[in-house]
Chains A and B, each alone.
Chain A
């Protein structure tokens, strides 16, 4: 619908629900309105405001890649009011979506470089978009390495895609679970993500590192990357903050003078270090 109202969401029908992990689901959403579907586009890294009418809106990244249009996907953990309502939705239900908002992973600038993706737990969704985007344009990049860890085997999300990535000859995938999170048949690594990263000794030469994870994982991963010689402006990450409008007006998500919904959510470590301790 051609609307001047910035807060009016697209109507999206839930086409497919995947149970990724305890309390974590992925929705594949299709536009109710065909014209909107054709006109819609986004870039990797962007997010949206997903809503259940009557409950409210919640902020998640767009977890699918812009190279695959006609639908969008989001992955979320049930945590509060809106995510609980979303978790109670069925296939065929209609929800709202406002977006795409935010800045992007500058994958054009990364052409010709090696890519090192590091993700933890529920933070794989924002990475998934950029991983698939890059894999769909595989010839643009040199080595692609993915390191992904979660608390336990059950908590690993996108289990099918992890298999796909593992079986691709042009991708090196390392998966790990926290000590104690392994199952008897587990063949991956055992250890915290920063520990495994340290063991891997990735080369910083001509490599971009993209890191998404819970704050504690990030805190210990950055020093490992620094030790390996990664310069701050070659390390990318995403910030989360409480959001409402997503378009820089409600005044809520700023970290110092930087608005996470407009200047982010994608930041380099160099940019992050300039921010005040307000996130």
Chain B
């Protein structure tokens, strides 16, 4: 912990970064994102098993980008999100310093994409076991059962878009649901509006989702949205042999053609 605090304080002091995003104590047992500009504030940083929010979501916010050189504390999922954002040209190599605390409590500092890529090759970033079981359970349902399951879950949705806001890969300034010429997705939170929204969002994340699960954690109505994207993640891995967020220059699976692609699903 002290390594983290000292490291951050040092970086802020000698202006290696202008802003550091980390975790701090929240309400009760919660943690919250901290935005530090002052070396003295580094003392407030914490890191424990409650620190799960994917802080990569803040990397593309205007208020953060305008701060200049940024550093942040990244979980493995956040590192993957950062790599996916990088392969989508959202920032250049070396613009962001990522700090990471391993499961052995060792602090690593990543100054460039290559070091992150090498780390992720050995990191545990698959779908967590409990959620894997849920995904398989849904997969085993009949089509009608699956439809009923999801329509029941979606019935609680009231279109707060917390899922979109919390997702580090949902960074479009004008989301597809906000387009009104034409109105691709009905705005209202009725059955059709909710179904359309969640399916569209999942589709726009296929080949991009990094399994962090923040969408489900953010949802105030407790809808297991991560299970939707996990299904797609599986499908993309199977059909395209592609896992998002492992490389900083990956080509998007759904829009890249290679001559040695498996074509049997087109035929």
Chains A, B in direct contact (C-beta < 8 Å): yes
Q: Mark interface residues in B177-198 (1 if CB within 8 Å of A CB, else 0).
A: 0001101000000000000000
User: Is A37's CB within 8 Å of the partner chain B?
Assistant: no
**Whole-angstrom distance from the CB of B182 to the nearest CB of chain A?**
8
7 residue pairs bridging A and B, Cβ less than 8 Å apart: A56-B180, A80-B180, A80-B181, A81-B180, A81-B181, A81-B183, A84-B181
Interface residues on A, range: under 10
The residue among A56, A81, A84 with the most chain B CB atoms within 10 A of its own CB is: A81
**Whole-angstrom distance from the CB of B126 to the nearest CB of chain A?**
43
Hey, which chain A residues are within 8 Å of B183, CB to CB? 81
Alpha-carbon distance between A202 and B81 when the two chains are bound, in angstroms: 62
Alpha-carbon distance between A80 and B181 when the two chains are bound, in angstroms: 8
Alpha-carbon distance between A77 and B205 when the two chains are bound, in angstroms: 37
Closest to B180 in A: A81
Which of A12-66 touch B at CB < 8 Å?
56
Alpha-carbon distance between A56 and B186 when the two chains are bound, in angstroms: 13
A-B pairs, top 3 by smallest CB distance, nearest first, are A81-B180, A81-B181, A84-B181
Hey, which chain B residues are within 8 Å of A80, CB to CB? 180-181
Hey, which chain A residues are within 8 Å of B181, CB to CB? 80-81, 84
Hey, which chain A residues are within 8 Å of B180, CB to CB? 56, 80-81
Q: Mark interface residues in B158-184 (1 if CB within 8 Å of A CB, else 0).
A: 000000000000000000000011010
Hey, which chain B residues are within 8 Å of A81, CB to CB? 180-181, 183
**Whole-angstrom distance from the CB of B62 to the nearest CB of chain A?**
18
A interface with B by C-beta (< 8 Å): 56, 80-81, 84
Q: Mark interface residues in B131-155 (1 if CB within 8 Å of A CB, else 0).
A: 0000000000000000000000000
Alpha-carbon distance between A81 and B184 when the two chains are bound, in angstroms: 13
Hey, which chain B residues are within 8 Å of A56, CB to CB? 180
**Whole-angstrom distance from the CB of B246 to the nearest CB of chain A?**
40
Alpha-carbon distance between A56 and B187 when the two chains are bound, in angstroms: 12
Closest to B179 in A: A81
Alpha-carbon distance between A81 and B183 when the two chains are bound, in angstroms: 9
Alpha-carbon distance between A81 and B182 when the two chains are bound, in angstroms: 8
Alpha-carbon distance between A56 and B181 when the two chains are bound, in angstroms: 12
**Whole-angstrom distance from the CB of A88 to the nearest CB of chain B?**
12
Alpha-carbon distance between A56 and B182 when the two chains are bound, in angstroms: 12
Closest to A84 in B: B181
Alpha-carbon distance between A232 and B213 when the two chains are bound, in angstroms: 56
Closest to B181 in A: A81
Alpha-carbon distance between A81 and B187 when the two chains are bound, in angstroms: 15
Alpha-carbon distance between A75 and B181 when the two chains are bound, in angstroms: 22
**Whole-angstrom distance from the CB of B179 to the nearest CB of chain A?**
9
Hey, which chain B residues are within 8 Å of A84, CB to CB? 181
**Whole-angstrom distance from the CB of B188 to the nearest CB of chain A?**
13
**Whole-angstrom distance from the CB of B169 to the nearest CB of chain A?**
27
Alpha-carbon distance between A56 and B180 when the two chains are bound, in angstroms: 10
Alpha-carbon distance between A84 and B181 when the two chains are bound, in angstroms: 10
Alpha-carbon distance between A190 and B183 when the two chains are bound, in angstroms: 43
Q: Mark interface residues in B60-89 (1 if CB within 8 Å of A CB, else 0).
A: 000000000000000000000000000000
Alpha-carbon distance between A80 and B180 when the two chains are bound, in angstroms: 9
**Whole-angstrom distance from the CB of A245 to the nearest CB of chain B?**
16
Alpha-carbon distance between A104 and B139 when the two chains are bound, in angstroms: 63
Alpha-carbon distance between A81 and B180 when the two chains are bound, in angstroms: 7
Alpha-carbon distance between A84 and B180 when the two chains are bound, in angstroms: 12
Closest to A82 in B: B180
Alpha-carbon distance between A108 and B265 when the two chains are bound, in angstroms: 76
**Whole-angstrom distance from the CB of A251 to the nearest CB of chain B?**
16
**Whole-angstrom distance from the CB of A9 to the nearest CB of chain B?**
19
Alpha-carbon distance between A80 and B183 when the two chains are bound, in angstroms: 12
**Whole-angstrom distance from the CB of A57 to the nearest CB of chain B?**
12
Closest to B182 in A: A81
Alpha-carbon distance between A128 and B197 when the two chains are bound, in angstroms: 44
**Whole-angstrom distance from the CB of A55 to the nearest CB of chain B?**
9
Alpha-carbon distance between A273 and B183 when the two chains are bound, in angstroms: 38
